[in-house]
């Protein structure tokens, strides 16, 4: 096989890639060595700012196949025919740690899916838990600051973590999830995924429904204990990446079954829980799971940086028949995610291969900016409306309008009949076996006992007492034991 010629980025052949040019043998290096300067300059710029959250991630390609008829609820084209397949890319991630962190840690997992549909890319950006710590996006920067490295000590501080949770009683439900047995998945293949937020589906007749997404792993849920996770993280910090990569390479393709909960819009106002509160679930007895299809991952990325690190998911990437709800956390994310990608990757990040539509073509008047593509019609205009045959609007909204009323202001979320911060956390605790409760208490007490201030500890203990009397008593007793040791 004939070797190809190594060239500079401008295409000129390179004579010597082993030695830089110098002023004589052993002399200083010359500034005129264009290949050396280009090579070092590119190396200095090979990395981009890491994500503030979800920095550590893994990804894979696959497909989604519809198995059940949901056309009564949504007109989304990729869901309109049983047996229809849509290519997709998924990115799994931890939330709080940096790009160099370990996979096997106690942390929620990001579960972001990009469907390359014939009507454009649809991004479903969720987690491996059905709830979250907060319900309003205005608190998100503070929450993340409390969970990440302290600006003075440079490390995660139990004081910060539990102080924020102590001041945020709505976090009790998610804390119970995180500190329970499912807080450390054994691998990305062995965890469920959730859209977490409430979304809107609209059918062909314009009838709207609210939905929640549930991806149930077909490998079975498997998790690690705190001791197992600590040992695994020490042996292989990339344990989940290794597992996903190797399973697909072996032809053992992981899969998930997608279910949805469906609520008629008219029922939202009087439902016992605020259906748009990210700290709450809809009990399955109220809104049973309805099967939609199956997701299979069968191809690894060829370049982790280009395809996983530069993958950009935005929950505002909807397609006809799917839209947002009044969920205040979701509403904030509709801006924040896309803005984060514009900062990290540039305004033309949607032209990167992993982010670009595959089953259709993007047609708009966006031009220029860093890394702008020239893949436009020759001499095409960059404004609208125009008289030159440019793309035009459809006059068909993607989803049904959301009804609004009242006065503009910084309002707390409306309270429904069961909308306290502790009821569902208590329900979750009472569902656990005795062994699960014991491990949950041990995990919470192990962190809370490291807090230096008594008032912070007491504030958190009050939350567990409010969720369930036994829950609070056991956590309090174990924290006292650990602090007395």
374 classed as catalytic: no
CA 233 – CA 402 distance, rounded (Å): 46
Q: What is the dihedral of CA 316, 319, 322, 328, to 10 degrees?
A: 10
Torsion over CA: 23, 26, 27, 30 (sign): positive
3-class secondary-structure state, position 61? strand
127 classed as catalytic: yes
CA 310 – CA 308 distance, rounded (Å): 6
The Cβ of residue 174 has, within 10 Å, a number of other Cβ atoms equal to 23
Candidates 54, 173, 240, 349; catalytic one? 54
CA 460 – CA 72 distance, rounded (Å): 45
Candidates 63, 121, 127, 240; catalytic one? 127
Exposure class string for 6-23: b at 16+ Cβ within 10 A, else e: eeeeeeeeeeeeeeeeee
Whether 292 and 70 have beta carbons less than 8 Å apart is answered as yes
Tokens matching residue 369: 């900016």
The position carrying tokens 């939350």 is 463
Give catalytic residue positions.
Answer: 54, 127
């Amino acid at each position: 096989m004939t070797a190809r010629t190594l060239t500079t980025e401008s295409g000129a052949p390179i004579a010597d890639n082993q030695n830089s040019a110098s002023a004589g043998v052993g002399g200083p290096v010359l500034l005129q060595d264009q290949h050396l300067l280009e090579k070092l300059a590119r190396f200095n710029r090979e990395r981009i700012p890491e994500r503030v959250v979800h920095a550590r991630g893994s990804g894979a390609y696959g497909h989604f196949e519809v198995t059940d008829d949901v056309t009564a609820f949504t007109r989304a084209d990729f869901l309109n025919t049983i047996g229809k397949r849509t290519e997709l890319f998924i990115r799994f991630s931890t939330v709080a740690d940096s790009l160099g962190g370990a996979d096997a840690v106690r942390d929620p997992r990001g579960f972001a899916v990009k469907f390359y549909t014939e009507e454009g890319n649809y991004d479903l950006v969720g987690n491996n838990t059905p709830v979250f710590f907060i319900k309003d996006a205005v608190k998100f920067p503070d929450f993340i600051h409390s969970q990440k490295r302290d600006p003075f000590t440079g490390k995660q501080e139990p004081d910060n973590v539990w102080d924020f949770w102590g001041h945020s009683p709505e976090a009790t439900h998610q804390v119970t999830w995180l500190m329970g047995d499912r807080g450390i998945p054994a691998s990305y293949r062995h965890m469920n995924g959730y859209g977490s937020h409430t979304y809107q589906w609209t059918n062909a007749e314009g009838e709207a429904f609210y939905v929640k997404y549930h991806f149930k792993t077909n490998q079975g849920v498997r998790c690690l204990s705190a001791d197992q996770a600590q040992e695994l993280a020490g042996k292989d910090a990339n344990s989940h990446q290794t597992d996903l990569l190797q399973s697909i390479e072996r032809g053992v393709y992981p899969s998930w079954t997608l279910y949805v909960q469906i609520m008629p819009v008219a029922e939202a106002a009087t439902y016992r829980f605020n259906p748009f509160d990210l700290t709450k679930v809809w009990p399955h007895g109220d809104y049973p799971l309805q099967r939609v299809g199956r997701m299979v991952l069968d191809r690894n990325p060829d370049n982790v940086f280009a395809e996983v690190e530069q993958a950009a998911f935005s929950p505002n990437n909807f397609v006809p028949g799917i839209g947002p709800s009044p969920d205040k956390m979701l509403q904030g994310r509709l801006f924040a995610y896309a803005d984060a990608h514009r900062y990290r990757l540039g305004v033309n990040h949607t032209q990167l291969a992993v982010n670009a539509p595959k089953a259709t073509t993007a047609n708009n008047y966006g031009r220029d900016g860093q890394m702008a593509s020239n893949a436009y019609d020759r001499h095409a205009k960059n404004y609208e409306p125009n008289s030159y045959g440019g793309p035009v609007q459809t006059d068909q909204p993607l989803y049904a309008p959301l009804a609004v009323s009242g006065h503009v202001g910084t309002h707390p979320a409306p309270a429904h009949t069961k909308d306290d911060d502790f009821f569902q956390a208590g329900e979750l605790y009472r569902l656990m076996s005795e062994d699960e409760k014991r491990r949950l208490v041990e995990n919470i007490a192990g962190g809370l006992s490291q807090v230096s201030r008594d008032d912070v500890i007491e504030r958190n203990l009050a939350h567990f007492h409010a969720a369930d009397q036994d829950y609070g008593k056991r956590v309090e007793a174990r924290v006292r034991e650990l602090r007395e040791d």
